[in-house]
């Protein structure tokens, strides 16, 4: 049975709270959950925030790993549910998220210019795109390595 969350009009489905709760009770990290279900941690976190669509198999594995009811998950965020993506204010206020936005404001034109020079008149897809976060240790302190790997798509001419 599908809930009204299919409407997607009131923000992410409430059942996502249960995912976070189960994760906390199991004291598992996104990395551990990701390994357990065969997905990257960033993608798993995106799914927890209602920003990625779990397959039936993902749901099945997840319900095993977290000890929660798969049928509820299936009915709320299963087959006939599709994420309404995009969360939060147009200009994010949280400093972690703002820094990413600042990267767009400050380096967006430069990144665009280099993509055009290296690839031509097109874009890096954010749909066919994998995102990873890694830790790199350095003398002056740890560094975050955030990587977007997206398909290059050329503009059609017709």
Q: What's the closest the beta carbon of residue 2 comes to a copy of itself, in angstroms?
A: 3
Q: What's the closest the beta carbon of residue 97 comes to a copy of itself, in angstroms?
A: 4
Nearer to a copy of itself, 64 or 88 (CB): 88
- 122 membership: H or E segment, kind and range: strand 122-136
| Alpha-carbon gap, residue 83 to 156, rounded angstroms | 28
| Alpha-carbon gap, residue 11 to 84, rounded angstroms | 8
Indicate if 99 belongs to the active site: yes
Nearer to a copy of itself, 23 or 63 (CB): 23
Indicate if 102 belongs to the active site: yes
Nearer to a copy of itself, 64 or 109 (CB): 109
Which of 3, 60, 75, 102 is flagged as catalytic?
102
Q: What's the closest the beta carbon of residue 117 comes to a copy of itself, in angstroms?
A: 5
Q: What's the closest the beta carbon of residue 68 comes to a copy of itself, in angstroms?
A: 13
- 131 membership: H or E segment, kind and range: strand 122-136
CA max distance for the chain: 55
Which of 125, 139, 149, 156 is flagged as catalytic?
125
3-state SS, residue 2: coil
Contacts 24+ apart (CB under 8 A), 10-14: 11/50, 11/87, 12/49, 12/50, 12/83, 12/87, 13/50, 13/76, 13/77, 13/81, 14/76
Which of 31, 32, 76, 99 is flagged as catalytic?
99
Nearer to a copy of itself, 71 or 100 (CB): 100
Indicate if 39 belongs to the active site: no
Which of the residues are catalytic? 99, 102, 125
């Amino acid at each position: 049975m599908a809930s009204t969350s299919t409407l997607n009009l009131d923000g992410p489905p409430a059942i996502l709270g249960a995912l976070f709760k189960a994760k906390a009770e199991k004291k598992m990290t996104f990395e551990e959950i990701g390994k357990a279900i065969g997905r990257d941690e960033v993608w798993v976190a995106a799914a927890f925030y209602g920003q990625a669509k779990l397959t039936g198999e993902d749901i099945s594995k997840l319900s095993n790993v977290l000890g929660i009811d798969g049928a509820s998950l299936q009915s709320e965020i299963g087959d006939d549910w599709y994420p309404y993506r995009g969360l939060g204010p147009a200009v994010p206020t949280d400093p972690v998220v703002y820094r990413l936005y600042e990267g767009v404001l400050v380096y967006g034109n430069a990144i665009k210019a280099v993509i055009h020079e290296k690839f031509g008149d097109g874009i890096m897809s954010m749909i066919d795109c994998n995102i990873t976060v890694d830790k790199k240790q350095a003398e002056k302190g740890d560094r975050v390595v955030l990587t977007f790997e997206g398909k290059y798509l050329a503009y059609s001419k017709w």
